[in-house]
Structure 1
């Protein structure tokens, strides 16, 4: 029991000794600092400048104009002439599809069209002649059958008039007793026969005229049908469509740009998007902003973009679009159920590059400062120089010149714009030349220090 207490006592003495050594070392160091004076990184001399509140984000350079290259043909892909990263110009050949079957179809269709056109031309010529003849026969005085029939009608009409007059005269004579009833009956029969002849000749004339009109209408209909078939372009249109399919088998670049993806595979049928081209004429930066910062970001805010290839050169930009939905991988519900994968969501922000001589390339990794707020002619101090006093006021320590040293004083300040490392401050004692201590916890009010 005595041995145990003795060991504890020895350990306690050792710890006390270590603490004393540390205190003495700190005192010696502080004394050395006070004697030599504070280094320049231990204080800030106030002067007016700019205060920028910004968010630093990462992303990459992309095109704001992406063209998907499709073809209407489902033919086999014979050759793809480009690869990812190739720069192409509008009209450059990107891929070739197999055209052997198409070429045969076009040749067969053109031969069929030639035969059909010759046949239809012959039919049209014959129909034209028949129509012209029928039209001629329908004109007055041109049809001999009509002329003969009209002559027969006229003769029958004269005979009818004569037989009618004779019959009327004989009726008077019979009443006077000048002729017999038999003679009267004969004249009546002759009159009725003349009526029948006239009626029959009139019907015959109308039948001939009807037939001429029917022949004319039939000839006209046949001509119009033959003309329609001759002028029909459906076969020609079908050939043109086949030729367009043939042309589509040579896949051309629709615009200048960089090949960003190749989906088609040689030997497989062409379907969907074969390739993707990103235009180099309209470059944007796509940046990822954390959900904690997304509410601070607004359209129109200035952005300063940098890449490894452009070094320290700042490329000016402007926010033009903020996605309303987080990136897809951040919305995976399976991940959200697993706490180990529950990472902060990120939102894509599109930045228009305003510097026309940017020399940026699609796919470059980039960083950017989104300027949330910027003020000029303000004072700013390091974050760590501000602390709270017992009344919860924001305060700083300043060093005022006194004799050969500097006297530490406590002053209240109001905070303004904040950036990653600095805070804008205002207050009664804030002016040019004031010395602010960066590490106030290392000092006490009323302490006199030296400054290098």
Structure 2
């Protein structure tokens, strides 16, 4: 019983002491108002400000050809490997042409047969035509004789009319032959039939030329996606059979934001960085700026403008295919006041920053914005060096409010 009493007594004493401490603290701080906001502040200083457009893209050759085949024949021979230099029209691979050659031989034989049949048909028709022509001429003689006899009353009108009718029948029979100057000609149907066969043969011979897979440009073979024994369209990941690139000169096909493209100019100098170069860089220039914008990707409505950058000074270890970063310096200003963009507050159509007074209150002063970079903006106004400003004011800031300054160098 005694132990429990003393424990309860300790608790009561602790509560009384805590209450007295709270009352004393309230009395001490009764007349003061503690700051409610911590503000990161820094000293205004002059610096060099530079606007740099930075874009990433792979380095590629100035010309690239993806070599494919319209034919899907088996591959009999591959004559190049990755890294080989080739000229335009050099043979890269040869497809199996055995079946195609048989088809060509068959078509040639069919055409020859059609022509022989046509010649024999013409010969037979010529004989018929010559006989019909002779009969017609003989009837013309009989007709003239009977006409005189009829006019002199030697034969009857009925006999003369029969001769006249026979002449008309022979003439119509003669007109049924396709003859020019007495020579039988091939019919339009037979001509068309042979023409179709010859066109088919021509296409197959053109196909035969295509079994030789050739490079369409001078360059280096950078990819071989086929194997001997497989079919031409059976490539790795359905890619082109071969990729040939002109690697004598490299370029970047970059996409620049519509907000930055107005700062670019043709032949503007570019610094090109890549992990493969370590701390070094290559030099380049803006070679082309597209006149139209395009959608960046399917997940955004952002528009970008394609820009072509040529590498003008290339280190030996810079190769195609690596990802590079192009830095284009568009504007530079020295000895200007600059602050982080987050320090500037827009007030209607005007801009301001918050300055820290000696009593830890803040006041706003108007500023004009000059050169802007990704992180900082140039400002002008009633400013001086070492002036302390708030780095990141929010919407709760107002003139005269007290803050707890957290100075950042």
> What TM-score do you get using the length of structure 1 for normalisation?
0.55
How far apart, in 1, do the equivalents of 2:242 and 2:304 lie?
Answer: 21
Q: Deviations over 1:286-308 (max 9, x none)?
A: 4477xxxx453326725724134
Q: Which residue of 2 aligns with 1:246?
A: 208
Residue 53 of structure 1 aligns to a residue whose secondary structure is: strand
Q: 1:275 aligns with which of 218, 237, 241?
A: 241
Greater Cα offset, 274-283 or 71-80? 274-283
Matched, 1:312 2:281: yes
1:118 CA displacement: 2.9
1:78 CA displacement: 2.6
How far apart, in 2, do the equivalents of 1:362 and 1:438 lie?
Answer: 50
Matched, 1:159 2:153: yes
Residue 290 of structure 2 aligns to a residue whose secondary structure is: strand
> What TM-score do you get using the length of structure 2 for normalisation?
0.60
Residue 211 of structure 1 aligns to a residue whose secondary structure is: helix
Q: Which residue of 1 aligns with 2:36?
A: none
The within-5 A match list for 1:358-397 is 361-371=319-329, 374-375=331-332, 378-381=334-337, 383=339, 393=353
1:117 CA displacement: 2.2
Q: What residue ranges of structure 2 are gaps of 5+ in the alignment?
A: 1-9, 15-42, 345-350, 357-364, 391-409
Q: Do the aligned residues in 1 keep the contact of 2:252 with 2:310 (CA within 8 Å)?
A: no
Q: Do the aligned residues in 2 keep the contact of 1:383 with 1:422 (CA within 8 Å)?
A: yes
Q: 1:146 to 1:56 in 2, by over 3 A?
A: closer
In terms of fraction of residues, the more strand-rich structure is 2
Q: Which residue of 1 aligns with 2:121?
A: 123
Q: 1:89 to 1:321 in 2, by over 3 A?
A: farther
Q: What residue ranges of structure 1 are gaps of 5+ in the alignment?
A: 6-41, 161-196, 332-343, 397-410, 431-435, 442-452
Q: 1:438 to 1:80 in 2, by over 3 A?
A: farther
Q: Do the aligned residues in 1 keep the contact of 2:337 with 2:380 (CA within 8 Å)?
A: no
Matched, 1:215 2:215: no
How far apart, in 1, do the equivalents of 2:76 and 2:246 lie?
Answer: 28
The within-5 A match list for 1:67-82 is 67-82=65-80
Q: 1:366 to 1:257 in 2, by over 3 A?
A: same
Matched, 1:229 2:190: yes
Q: Deviations over 1:108-163 (max 9, x none)?
A: 3223323332332343345446546655665xxxx233323432343244236xxx
How far apart, in 2, do the equivalents of 1:98 and 1:70 lie?
Answer: 15
Q: 1:72 to 1:58 in 2, by over 3 A?
A: closer
1:285 CA displacement: 1.7
How far apart, in 1, do the equivalents of 2:354 and 2:85 lie?
Answer: 58
Q: 1:288 to 1:216 in 2, by over 3 A?
A: closer
Q: 1:300 to 1:65 in 2, by over 3 A?
A: farther
Q: Which residue of 1 aligns with 2:91?
A: 93
Q: 1:256 to 1:307 in 2, by over 3 A?
A: farther
How far apart, in 2, do the equivalents of 1:200 and 1:74 lie?
Answer: 77
Residue 73 of structure 2 aligns to a residue whose secondary structure is: coil
Q: In terms of Rg, which structure is larger?
A: 1
Q: 1:298 aligns with which of 232, 253, 261?
A: 261
Q: 1:152 to 1:366 in 2, by over 3 A?
A: same
1:261 CA displacement: 4.8
Greater Cα offset, 344-353 or 261-270? 344-353
How far apart, in 2, do the equivalents of 1:438 and 1:421 lie?
Answer: 20
Q: 1:381 to 1:428 in 2, by over 3 A?
A: closer
Q: 1:150 aligns with which of 120, 144, 159?
A: 144
Matched, 1:352 2:313: no
